[in-house]
Amino acid sequence: MNSKPGHQLAILLCILFSFIINNSQAEEKNVQPGINDYYYDAEFSQWLSTFESPGREVFDKKDIIIQTLNIKPGIRIADIGAGTGLYTIPFAQKVGKKGLVYAVDISTDFVTNIEKRAKKQDLKNVIGHINSQKEIGLAQDSIELAFISNTYHHFEYPLTTLKSIYQALVPGGKLVIIDFKRDPKISSSWVMGHVRAHKTKVIEEVESAGFKLLNDHNILEQNYFLSFSK
């Protein structure tokens, strides 16, 4: 006896729904295995001169980058991949006593020393946070701005991490990504071998996580500077 068309349609819809659910829950594959291994035991003092020295564009143009962000007093910021606190400290100064800055990094020594730097400058609005490779680990709606400088290419699970950033941002919150341009005409051989994706691919990934591109700021040469909204 043949099933009725309505029954067959119901079965097909159940199969389709099950496929969608299982596919959405499938674990993302690691796109950059091992790229962060040397950071887990990284020592702050050894990396300070690397991250904060002339010739590194995000160091040389820090002031214009911060100016472009137009940070308002009282907001909450996650500095993701905070490193030595190059941006964490001025962010804390910008948001003021009523604001908050999370120094997010996988390196315990980086986070500990950022907190020490903040304490020396009497900045009580910096909170260190050690994250995992899959998520930033901040509470829902806990930040207005997520800032990622020269760190996106270190995301081993970019889509999973972006999902965690999305939920941490308040509605209308902003995500900023600054990272190396991957262009053989201008990029070094190190960048071409080290950086996984070019700007267009990054935009595709971020938009697939639910973000909308707001601006492609053309103020840097070696890096791109993208702003997204939730």
Give, for all 230 residues of the chain, the pLDDT tens digit: 445 555 555 555 445 444 443 444 478 999 999 999 988 888 999 999 999 999 999 999 999 999 999 999 999 999 999 999 999 999 999 999 999 999 999 999 999 999 999 999 999 999 999 999 999 999 999 999 999 999 999 999 999 999 999 999 999 999 999 999 999 988 999 999 999 999 999 999 999 999 999 999 999 999 999 999 99
Domain membership flag for residue 23: no
| Token pair of 35 as six digits | 């790229």
Strands of the sheet with 76-80, listed across from one edge: 126-130, 100-105, 76-80, 143-149, 169-180, 223-229, 212-216
Partnered with residue 102 across adjacent β-strands are 78, 127
Nearest to 151 by CA among 61, 86, 63, 221: 86
pLDDT at 157: 97
> Distance of CA 176 to CAs 66, 72, 98, 123, 146, Å?
11, 15, 22, 23, 6
CATH number at residue 166: 3.40.50.150
- Residue span of the structural domain in which 173 resides: 38-229
Q: Give the Cα separation of 132 and 155 in Å (integer).
A: 10
Domain membership flag for residue 105: yes
The one-letter amino acid code at 134 reads K
Domain count across the chain: 1
DSSP label at 155? -
pTM reported for the whole predicted model: 0.87
Domain membership flag for residue 83: yes
Torsional sign, CA 136, 228, 88, 107 = positive
Cβ atoms of 95 and 74 within 8 Å: the answer is yes
Domain membership flag for residue 111: yes
Classify each residue of 7-41 as buried b or exposed e, where b means 16 or more C-beta atoms within 10 Å of its C-beta.
Answer: eeeeeeeeeeeeeeeeeeeeeeeeebeebbeebee
pLDDT at 42: 87
Alpha helices (runs of H) in 121-220, residue ranges in sequence order = 158-168, 189-194, 199-208
